[in-house]
Homo-oligomer: A and B are copies of this chain.
Amino acid sequence: MTHHSQDMQACIDACLACYRTCLSTAMHHCLEAGGDHTEPAHFRLMAACAEMCRASAHIMLTGSDAHRHSCTACAAICSACADDCERVGGMAECVRACRECAEHCRRMGAMQ
């Protein structure tokens, strides 16, 4: 039983995958590596991105068309997080998850 279009289902999947990757990477890789990885601005952006992805998935799951706003915000935050993870380096998985989520959310936010 599914209550969402195929595109939305894929966007929810991408958001939850990015949430898991950002949170888990921050709490394991970043805390263990220290240095640039626990630099406040970087670590905070990882935490903000994890939360926005989680909320974006949640709002799509509610079925409300308010998701356009949250998807647009999620695309912007994921894109910023991907850039910052590239700058720090050694975070290829996070970069990939953020780019993929940003692309799904960008399209979902632009739909009417």
Q: Check: A11 CB closer than 8 A to any chain B CB.
A: no
Within 8 A of B (CB), among A56-99: 58-59, 61-64, 66-67, 69-70, 72-73, 76-77, 80-81, 93
Is A18's beta carbon under 8 Å from chain B?
no
Chain B residue contacts of A25, Cβ below 8 A = 1, 3
A27 with B62: in contact, given A54-B55, A55-B52 (CB under 8 Å)? yes
User: In the complex, how many residues of chain A place their beta carbon closer than 8 angstroms to a beta carbon of chain B?
Assistant: 45
The listed residue (B3, B31, B51) touching A28 by CB distance below 8 A is: B3
Q: Chain A: interface secondary structure? A: helix
Give the distance to chain B from A21, nearest Cβ to Cβ, in Å: 9
Complexed CA–CA distance, A94 and B58 (Å)? 17
Q: Does A12 reach chain B (CB closer than 8 Å)? A: yes
Given contact pairs A24-B61, A48-B64, A52-B70, enumerate 13 new A-B contacts (beta carbons under 8 Å).
Answer: A3-B24, A3-B29, A23-B61, A27-B61, A28-B40, A40-B63, A44-B66, A48-B66, A51-B59, A54-B55, A55-B70, A69-B72, A73-B73
